Structures are given as structure tokens and as C-alpha cells.
């Protein structure tokens, strides 16, 4: 393969095409440079070198805008195919017995990432010593391109049709409150009375009302609530409930021991809030590297077995 000399930098044609594709998908040279961990000047030189090699102008640039030429449009599609083929070749030549190499960039929710999935992740890394993982904990919406990640674990999020979403399991949830709070407000005999109690809202999933469904009768009720505290962290919600601030609906696995030891009381177990789906999400592509395929297999195997998780009905 022909190698192009960029001053003191040696770089092959595949890397030039990778840079071109990243420029197009990131929307600017500066954004591409940031995602690739290099300088804008380097990205610009690589683009110029690719244009020189091909003998065509790929991108028209002004001070404030960037536009693909007709040749650039065709070149972008061809470059994507070539990069996918090159990745497949790299996997085929560099992997012994299908062993993943390189770096896998994963985003996971804080609670899962810190507690439920840490041990499986460590075992995964021990099994594949040539693999590295960037384990980023963030509950926000995923933007695969700008965040430069390979896949994400999403809890309770709507499925994006522009991505591949693999349903792994469901997270049952429990309504909990501290014994002190219940003693202060007296007994509640029907879930509708929960509206009279102070609440802690996990605003990712509920803010001003909660819906509960009776397990046997399939009866649905919606209760209006007035939160004393709103948070996007189920750790904060659980700790605030332990402190007696209010009622909360949180993942059952998180409060299982609190309920067993009497630190929290589960309310109306026969009226649970809907379980939250857990998906592994990644962008569509013609080729997926072994490291992503192995991680997907791990999550399919591990997620339903985690403490407090509910397996998916496969009927």
C-alpha cells in the first residue's frame, strides 16, 4: 500500500480516508480533530493529501461553512465501504481464536456502571487481555458521533430507529418510604392515598405523576405527586428516601437490602410501577468489530442474571 509522507508524519491511505469520513460525519475539521485526539492542522493536511492522491476536490470550505463536492459525496460512500473492509481484514489477521483487540468505548448509566456491571466488566477484561475499555458513566441521551462511543447501555429510554437497539432485560421498580415517614403520616390503605405524601421524583422517569398497575386485576391508576426533591440520580432518590424526605420509586435491586433490614418499607407491592427496559444501543454499520460483538454477547448473557433483574419474555 502506498504511504504518503506528511512532513514528519507517515500515514497510509486508509487513515486518510478515516480522517475524511470523520470530517464529513463530524461536520467540521475542528470537530473531527477533537474526536480523533489530534490538531485541526493535522486533519487539514490529511484532507489535502487525500485530495492530492485522488486528484479531485472533496470538500469546499469557507470561513463559516463546509460542503461536499459531487466527487466528495461519491468518495465518502466509497471510503465507508473501504474502511469497513479494512476493519474486517484487521480483525481477521490480528485476532487469534476470535479474540478482540483495541479499545471499546461504552457509555452506561451511573447506577449500573458503578455497581451492577462492574464485576462482569472486570471479568470481561481479564478474559481478553488485548482489549481495553473506556467505561463512561452518563445517563444522558447518546450521540454516538460527537461523543465518540461504540455502544451504550440505556435504561428506560425510547428506542431510536436510527440505531440498533437490543433488548437485554427489564428493571423492576419498587415504591419505598422510610418507617419514620410512614409513622408521621399514618397508614395508607390504597395507592391513591400516596398523592397526600411528600415525594422524591426521579425526573428521568417521573416528575409530576406516577402510574401503577395492579398485578392481578391489570387495573391502572395514575397518581399526581408534588415532589419535595427532583433528581436524575436513583442513588440520590434512595438516600433521600432513607433520610425520610419522601416516597420514591426506584430500581428494586437498589433497595432490596434496605427493605430486608427494615430501613425502607415497600408500599403496595401488588401495584408496581412498570419495569424499565434495558437496551444495548449502537449505530448501524455494515461491519461490527469483534470487540463490539463480544461485548454484546456478554451483555445478553449477564444482564438477565443480575440481581433484581427481570428476564424478557421471549414468547
Write out pLDDT tens, residues 129-158. 888 999 999 877 777 766 778 899 998 877
How far is the first Cα of the chain from the last one, in angstroms, to the nearest whole number?
Answer: 51
pLDDT at 2: 46
Q: Average pLDDT in the 95-123 region?
A: 83
Q: What is the reported pLDDT for 4?
A: 46
pLDDT tens digit sequence for 8-58: 444 578 788 888 888 887 788 888 888 777 888 888 888 888 888 888 888
* pLDDT exceeds cutoff 70 at 60: yes
Average pLDDT over residues 158-172: 85
Position 95 pLDDT exceeds 70: no
pTM of the entire structure? 0.70
CA proximity to 179, closest of 264, 256, 304, 116: 264
Give dist(CA 156, CA 148) in Å, integer: 22
Question: What would the mean pLDDT of 292-306 be, rounded to a whole number?
Answer: 89
Amino acid at each position: 500500500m502506498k504511504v504518503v509522507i506528511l512532513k514528519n508524519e507517515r500515514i497510509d491511505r486508509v487513515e486518510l480516508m478515516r480522517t475524511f469520513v470523520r470530517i464529513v460525519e463530524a461536520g467540521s475539521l475542528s470537530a473531527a480533530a477533537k474526536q480523533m485526539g489530534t490538531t485541526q492542522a493535522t486533519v487539514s493536511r490529511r484532507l489535502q493529501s487525500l485530495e492530492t492522491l485522488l486528484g479531485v476536490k472533496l470538500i469546499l470550505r469557507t470561513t463559516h461553512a463546509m460542503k461536499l463536492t459531487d466527487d466528495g459525496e461519491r468518495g465518502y460512500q466509497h471510503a465507508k465501504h473501504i474502511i469497513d473492509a479494512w476493519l474486517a481484514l484487521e480483525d481477521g489477521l490480528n485476532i487469534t481464536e476470535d479474540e478482540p483487540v483495541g479499545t471499546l468505548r461504552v457509555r452506561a448509566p451511573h447506577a449500573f456502571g458503578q455497581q451492577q456491571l462492574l464485576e462482569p466488566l472486570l471479568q470481561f477484561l481479564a478474559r481478553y487481555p488485548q482489549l481495553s475499555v473506556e467505561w463512561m458513566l452518563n445517563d444522558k441521551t447518546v450521540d454516538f458521533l460527537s461523543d465518540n462511543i461504540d455502544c451504550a447501555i440505556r435504561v428506560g429510554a425510547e428506542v431510536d430507529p436510527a440505531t440498533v437497539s437490543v433488548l437485554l432485560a427489564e428493571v423492576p421498580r419498587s415504591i419505598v418510604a422510610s418507617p419514620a415517614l410512614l409513622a408521621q403520616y399514618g397508614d395508607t390503605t390504597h395507592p391513591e392515598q400516596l398523592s397526600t405524601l411528600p415525594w422524591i421524583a426521579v425526573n428521568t422517569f417521573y416528575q409530576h405523576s406516577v402510574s401503577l398497575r395492579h398485578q392481578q386485576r391489570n387495573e391502572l391508576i395514575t397518581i399526581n405527586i408534588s415532589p419535595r426533591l427532583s433528581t436524575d440520580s436513583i442513588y440520590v432518590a434512595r438516600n433521600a428516601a432513607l433520610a425520610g424526605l419522601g416516597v420514591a420509586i426506584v430500581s428494586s435491586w437498589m433497595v432490596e437490602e434496605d427493605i430486608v433490614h427494615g430501613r425502607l418499607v415497600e408500599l403496595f407491592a401488588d401495584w408496581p410501577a412498570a419495569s424499565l427496559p434495558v437496551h444495548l444501543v449502537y449505530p448501524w454499520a455494515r461491519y461490527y468489530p469483534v470487540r463490539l460483538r463480544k461485548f454484546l454477547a456478554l451483555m445478553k448473557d449477564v444482564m438477565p442474571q443480575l440481581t433484581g433483574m427481570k428476564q424478557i419474555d421471549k414468547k
